[in-house]
Amino acid sequence: MKIFINPGHGGSDPGVCSRHNVFESDVALIIGKMLLNRLKLNGYPAVLFQQKEHYFEISKEENKSNATLFISIHCNGATSTAAHGVETLYYDGSKKGKQLAEIMQQQLIKTTGCADRGIKPRTDLHVLNRTNAPAILIETAFLSNENEEQKLVMQPEMFANAIWDAIKIYKTQNLI
Ligand SMILES: [Zn+2]
């Protein structure tokens, strides 16, 4: 078992930028590193990779890694500051991906108190359709929403803990 953590965006692509100039790529990296250390501490093989130039690098690294789970961490953004909540995307047709997404979504809403926007099947996302391992993409919360920006910046450990708990549950259910 090996967990591949991909904090979203990076390099010249900062992703969503909040009204306070907080970048999605930075928040995702902080949560990703917290998760990486929780996995390392508990003996779970794990790697972290954030793109430098282009998102094609992500699947290339993942394909070399022999990972058994792929987790991409993002923050959401919308023009409406009212938009809020957590959602988890998975590759449509992947049974394991869907199972992981369901567990992940439950842990995230339970731990962070963010609203449940549900799990969503997607076929068009490179990180879901070009990765070998069961893959999910977590849209943790909205950086464009003031309340959720506060949570993401001041309590990133909540998100890392939720993801860590979901991985443990997934493993307990003998899915990896
Ligand atoms: Zn993103």
The model's confidence at residue 174, banded by pLDDT at 50, 70 and 90, is confident
- Asked if 57 and 10 touch (Cβ cutoff 8 Å), the reply is no
User: Quick check: 175 pLDDT over 70?
Assistant: no
Q: Find out if CATH 3.40.50.150 is the number for domain 17-172.
A: no
* Per-residue pLDDT tens over the stretch 73-118: 999 999 999 999 999 999 999 999 999 999 999 999 999 999 999 9
* Per-residue pLDDT tens over the stretch 21-59: 999 999 999 999 999 999 999 999 999 999 999 999 999
Q: How far does the centroid of ligand 1 lie from the alpha carbon of residue 135, in Å?
A: 15
Q: How far does the centroid of ligand 1 lie from the alpha carbon of residue 28, in Å?
A: 9
Q: Which long-range contacts (CB under 8 A, 24 or more apart) does 150-157 make?
A: 151/112, 151/113, 151/114, 152/22, 152/27, 152/31, 152/75, 153/22, 153/27, 155/112, 156/27, 156/30, 156/31, 156/34, 157/34
Mind spelling out the 3-state secondary structure of 78-130?
CCCCCCCCEEEEEECCCHHHHHHHHHHHHHHHHHHCCCEEEEEEECCCHHHHC
Q: Is the dihedral of CA 15, 16, 21, 26 positive or negative?
A: negative
Q: How far does the centroid of ligand 1 lie from the alpha carbon of residue 128, in Å?
A: 13
Q: How far does the centroid of ligand 1 lie from the alpha carbon of residue 106, in Å?
A: 20
Position of tokens 């070399």? Answer: 64
Q: What is the mean pLDDT of the chain?
A: 96
- Asked if 134 and 93 touch (Cβ cutoff 8 Å), the reply is no
User: Quick check: 176 pLDDT over 70?
Assistant: no
The model's confidence at residue 66, banded by pLDDT at 50, 70 and 90, is very high
Who's near 73: CB < 8 A, 6+ residues apart?
Answer: 5, 6, 7, 8, 28, 31, 32, 35, 138, 140, 159, 163
Q: How far does the centroid of ligand 1 lie from the alpha carbon of residue 86, in Å?
A: 13
User: Quick check: 159 pLDDT over 90?
Assistant: yes
Q: How far does the centroid of ligand 1 lie from the alpha carbon of residue 74, in Å?
A: 5
Q: How far does the centroid of ligand 1 lie from the alpha carbon of residue 14, in Å?
A: 9
Residue ranges of domains in the chain: 17-172
Q: How far does the centroid of ligand 1 lie from the alpha carbon of residue 69, in Å?
A: 19
Q: What is residue 146's predicted lDDT score, i.e. its pLDDT?
A: 97
* Per-residue pLDDT tens over the stretch 130-155: 999 999 999 999 999 999 999 999 99
Q: How far does the centroid of ligand 1 lie from the alpha carbon of residue 113, in Å?
A: 21
* Per-residue pLDDT tens over the stretch 90-102: 999 999 999 999 9
Could you tell me the pTM of the whole model?
Answer: 0.97
User: Taking CA 85 as the corner, what is the angle to CA 80 and CA 89, rounded to the nearest 5 degrees?
Assistant: 105
Q: How far does the centroid of ligand 1 lie from the alpha carbon of residue 95, in Å?
A: 24
